Amino acid sequence: MYKKPSAARGVRQTYEQLLKANLRPQVPAWLRAMRRVPAADSLVRDPSYFNTAGTLEFEKKGAAAKAGSANGERVRTEIKRSLPEGCVSIKHSKVQLRTSSTRPPKIEFPEDRLRRVFYKNHPFELTRPRILMEVTGQTSSDWSRLASGRKQVTGEDVIRHQYYLMQSEGLSEQAAYAQATGEFYKMRAREEIEAKIARREAQAYGARLLEERPFSAHQLVAETREIRRSAKAFEQRREEQKLRNVVSEKMFAAAGETA
């Protein structure tokens, strides 16, 4: 980012040159004021334009292949125009006519293209809940495997793993995508099987799933009453059992004395 030069300073310098060349008769009042208090620099910072695309090896290879095919297919024709004597053709490019923009340049990394392709083919991965808690606090991970010590596998892990295969293993984008998504599908299938087994075990122990029978306020009140009644019945049975134990102990004691 850099600051643009002040336009007011340019006006003062231009008028100073006109005075030196005797193209202006007198010094205006605003010029004396600008000499005493010069204009400050512009507060608007223009972005420094740079391009990050095409810097990696696989991007250079793809660009070279596309350029070769395009040069073989296109046929360029040049049209020469004859101008009268004394006339000169002036070309104004669109780049020169553009005004400077204050918008920052678009920074795009190689993972961004891989991310667009993956989430275009798997849109429901964006709605899947994610665990944001850091367990170990380590920022670096081993992307040679899709799941290396992580409890939850997301679409970002697939993208990182695909990018690792492209950089380290030398695979193409399509081959790395097929390998990474193949491992991802296996892990998703294993998670679904584990969830089904856990649901069946919970049902076998008497759990009632919310999706099978949604609870309401009336049902909750009725179940609270049943729990209280069962608690009272349990207390009564426990008192009866205590009395039975006392009676049986007295009977055993009396039988021992008689014997």
Please say if the pLDDT value at position 230 is more than 60.
Answer: yes
Are 177 and 127 in the same domain? yes
Q: Determine the structural domain holding residue 22 and report its residue range.
A: 1-46
Q: Do 198 and 178 touch, CB atoms closer than 8 A?
A: no
Are 254 and 171 in the same domain? no
Q: What total of structural domains would you count in the chain?
A: 3
What is the model's pLDDT at position 258? 73
Nearest to 157 by CA among 141, 171, 178: 141
- Band (pLDDT 50/70/90 cuts) for residue 162 is very high
What is the model's pLDDT at position 1? 47
The label of the residue with tokens 């296109």 reads 74
User: Residue 156 falls within a domain, yes or no?
Assistant: yes
Please give the average per-residue pLDDT across 7-34, as a whole number.
Answer: 86
Spatial neighbors of 180 by CB under 8 A, at least 6 apart, are 146, 158, 159, 161, 162, 165
The token duo for 166 is 């492209």
pLDDT in tens, 56-113: 666 676 666 666 665 555 444 444 455 556 555 555 555 555 555 666 777 788 889 9
Please say if the pLDDT value at position 3 is more than 60.
Answer: no
User: Residue 61 falls within a domain, yes or no?
Assistant: no
Nearest to 170 by CA among 53, 54, 61, 55: 61
Please say if the pLDDT value at position 118 is more than 90.
Answer: yes
Please say if the pLDDT value at position 119 is more than 90.
Answer: yes
What is the model's pLDDT at position 77? 44
CA distance linking residue 8 with residue 31, whole number of Å: 11
User: Residue 120 falls within a domain, yes or no?
Assistant: yes
What is the model's pLDDT at position 181? 93
Are 197 and 224 in the same domain? no
What is the model's pLDDT at position 150? 62
User: Residue 26 falls within a domain, yes or no?
Assistant: yes
Which position has the higher pLDDT, 92 or 244?
Answer: 244
User: Residue 18 falls within a domain, yes or no?
Assistant: yes
What is the model's pLDDT at position 214? 53
User: Residue 98 falls within a domain, yes or no?
Assistant: no
Are 237 and 198 in the same domain? no
What is the model's pLDDT at position 78? 44
pLDDT in tens, 181-211: 999 999 999 989 998 999 888 888 777 665 5
Which position has the higher pLDDT, 244 or 97?
Answer: 244
Judging by beta carbons within 10 Å of its beta carbon (0-12, 13-18, 19+), is residue 157 exposed, middle or buried?
Answer: buried
User: Residue 88 falls within a domain, yes or no?
Assistant: no
Of all residues in the chain, the percent with pLDDT exceeding 70 is 64
The label of the residue with tokens 């679409």 reads 155
Are 122 and 184 in the same domain? yes
User: Residue 179 falls within a domain, yes or no?
Assistant: yes
pLDDT in tens, 24-45: 888 888 888 888 888 777 666 5
Give me the residues paired with residue 2 across strands.
Answer: 46
What is the model's pLDDT at position 184? 92
The label of the residue with tokens 């679904």 reads 192
Mean pLDDT of the chain: 76
